[in-house]
Structures are given as C-alpha cells and as structure tokens.
Amino acid sequence: MLTVLQYCTDAVALGCLFALGAIGVGIVFGVMRLANFAHGEFIMLGAYALLILSGLPWVLTWTLALCFVGLIALLTERVAFRWLRGADSSTLLMSSFAVSIFLQNSVIIAFGSRARAVKMPTFVNGSPVFFGLRIPVVSLLTISLTVISLVALVIFFKRTSLGLQMRASAEDFRMARLLGTPANRVVAAAFAISGGLACIVSILLTARSGTVVPAMGLTPVLFAFVAVTIGGLGNLVGSAVGGFLVGFITMGMQAVLPSGLSSYRDALAFLAVIAILVFRPQGLLPSIAVEERV
C-alpha cells in the first residue's frame, strides 16, 4: 500500500512537471501555431540564471530568474518569430530549432558545455515523512508551485481582458484580430507566460538534479511536445491533462514494466504520440476547429 502511495506522489510530482512544460508549449502553440522547440532552451536558460544568481537570497534569485527567462522569451518573439507569423507549421518549427540552437550554443560559448553544480537553498534537499510516507521537499515544491501557477493562469484567463483576448486568439486568430484584439500584445503575453512557466520548470529540475548543462532542455521539451499532442494541440486544459497523463503513464511503466523493457519507456511514450496523431489527431481533449476547411 505504501509503495503504491509512494509511486502516486512521485507520479503526481512528475505529472506536475510535465504539465508545466506542456502548458508553456501549448500557450504559444495556441496563439501562433508554433510548436516552440526553443522552450527547452528557455528551461535551460532559467537554470543558468539560477547558477549566475545563486549568491542572492533564494526568493530574489528565483524572481529574477523568472523575469530573465520571460524577457528572453519576449526577445525571441520580437527578433525571430514575429517575422514568421502566419508561416506554415514546418517553417515555424524550423525557426524554433534555429532559435534553440542559437541559445544553446550561446550558452556553450559563455559557460562551456560541461555540467555545473548549482547551489540551491538547503531546504529543498529534505524529505520529511508523513504517516510513513517519505515525500521529498522537491515533490512538495513541485506540486505547490504547479497549483499556484495553474490557479494564477485560470484567474488570468477567466478574469482579465488580456486573458480573454488570448483565449479568443487561440480559437481563431484572424477573427480575434478583426474584432480588435491587439495581436502583438497577445502573442507577447503568450511568450512571457511561456517563459515564466519554463523558468518554474528550471527551478524544479535544478532542485532535483543540482546541476545545469547546456543540453538539459531537450528531454523536457520533447516530453512537453508529447503531452501537448496527447492532450490536444491548441487546447490548454488538454495540455495540462496531457502533462499529468504522461507523468502518470511514465511512472506507471517504470513501476510495472520488467527491467529489461523499462529502458524502452520513452520509446513507448513517443509511439503513443504517433498513435494519437494517427487515430485521434485532435488529441484526447479536442479544441475547436482543428480541421482545416477547404
């Protein structure tokens, strides 16, 4: 029983991590139809921001890192993606690869390609025991930060006019523009939020591993793609659900699969993506009007 609960808390924590990544990717996909591969690099840059700022009090470090990644995200939009608005999805994806390579190698030029240790506040290393259940502080932190971000996002989307405009743009960008939605502001907001979410992921990842490395963004962004596709492209609730689902399923496979097969876990996740795209291209929770009309 305890083992099952243990797995459950781990699965929830992992699901939260994937959900944050997936929403970060999904929010930009929603307004721009851009599957932003550079999101992984946002995560990586957040971790390097933590490395640079690690001398400061942790609240300050985290806040500054959050702002930094948000700004970087805005900058990539302004410099690269703005010119490609409305381009087809392959072009957009290629441009995000270019941005990703650019950011990653800029970091390699500045810091080298070796892994570096980051000093995190000491409290994240603990793992208190509740009723015999060992819950690492990192997991608690993951869950609470995810809940806070999700609540903040829901309030933003439901209660602010910018949030409303973003939802409208995600549904039909052209129509929303015709009705007076400021396109630049909506897209910029999407990138800023996406960057902020990426930075939360970097805080959590760095708290888990204690190290940063220029290539660290690849796995998170690939899994975010998986989650976004499974949940339904262009649908934020779907992205979040997809993230949790991927977290649960990967943990489940970790627990159930025999050791010889568990190394193929990631392959199964990506096979699931292909299967979803083929059999249910609108995702598990379809958004409106994904089918292109002729």
Partner 1 sequence: MADRSEGPEKTSTWDRISPLITLIVFVCIVALLANAFASPSLKRVVLTTLLNMILVVGFYVFSGNSGIISFGHIGFAAVGAYAVAILSVPPTMKLVILPGLPSAISNLAFDSNLAMVCGAGVVAVFAALVGYPIVRLKGVGPAIATLALLQVIHVVIANWRSVTGGDSTLVGVPIDTTLWVALFWVVAALIVAYAYQTSRSGRRLRASREDADAARSVGIHVPWERYKALILSAAIMAVGGGLYGHYLGSLSPRTLYLTLGFLGILMAVVGGINSLAGVVTGVAVVSAIIEGLRRFADGFSVGSFELKGMPGLQEVVLAILLLIILIRMPAGLTGGREVNTRFLSRLRGRAKGDRETPVEGTSDV
Q: Is 105 in the site for partner 1 (CB under 8 A)?
A: yes
Query: What number of H helices and E strands is found in the chain?
Result: 12, 4
Candidates 3, 4, 59, 90: give the one binding partner 1 (CB under 8 A).
Answer: 90
- Taking the CA atoms of 162, 163, 169 and 175 in sequence, report the sign of the dihedral they define: negative
CB-CB contact of 224 with 200 (8 Å): no
Q: Is 285 in the site for partner 1 (CB under 8 A)?
A: no
CB of 191 vs partner 1, minimal distance in Å: 16
CB-CB contact of 236 with 26 (8 Å): yes
Q: Is 284 in the site for partner 1 (CB under 8 A)?
A: no
Size of the site for partner 1 (CB under 8 A): 45
Q: Which two tokens stand for residue 128?
A: 């208190």
- Taking the CA atoms of 202, 206, 208 and 214 in sequence, report the sign of the dihedral they define: positive
- Give the three-class secondary structure for 80: coil
The alpha carbons of the chain give a radius of gyration, in whole angstroms, of: 19
Q: Which residues is 134 bridged to in the sheet?
A: 129
CB of 283 vs partner 1, minimal distance in Å: 11
Helix (H) or strand (E) holding 195: helix 183-209
In single-letter form, the type of residue at position 271 comes to L
CB of 12 vs partner 1, minimal distance in Å: 25
Q: Is 141 in the site for partner 1 (CB under 8 A)?
A: no
Candidates 19, 27, 35, 47: give the one binding partner 1 (CB under 8 A).
Answer: 35
CB of 207 vs partner 1, minimal distance in Å: 26
Q: Per-residue string for binding with partner 1, 224-243, x by CB under 8 A? A: -xx--x---x----------
Q: Per-residue string for binding with partner 1, 60-89, x by CB under 8 A? A: --------------------x--xx--x-x
Nearest to 31 by CA among 236, 219, 229, 206: 236
The terminus-to-terminus CA distance of the chain in angstroms comes to: 55
Which class for 93: exposed (0-12), middle (13-18), buried (19 or more C-beta within 10 A)? middle
Q: Which residues is 130 bridged to in the sheet?
A: 133
Q: Is 36 in the site for partner 1 (CB under 8 A)?
A: no
Q: Is 218 in the site for partner 1 (CB under 8 A)?
A: yes
Query: Of the listed pieces 132-140, 164-172, 194-202, 261-269, which binds partner 1 according to CB under 8 A?
Result: 261-269
Q: What is the largest CA-CA distance in the chain?
A: 60
Candidates 27, 45, 66, 99: give the one binding partner 1 (CB under 8 A).
Answer: 99
Q: Is 104 in the site for partner 1 (CB under 8 A)?
A: yes
CB of 212 vs partner 1, minimal distance in Å: 16
Q: Which two tokens stand for residue 146?
A: 């995810």
**Contact set with partner 1 (CB under 8 A):** 33, 35, 80, 83-84, 87, 89-91, 93-95, 97-99, 101-102, 104-109, 112-113, 218, 222, 225-226, 229, 233, 263-264, 266-267, 270-271, 273-274, 277-278, 281, 290, 292, 294
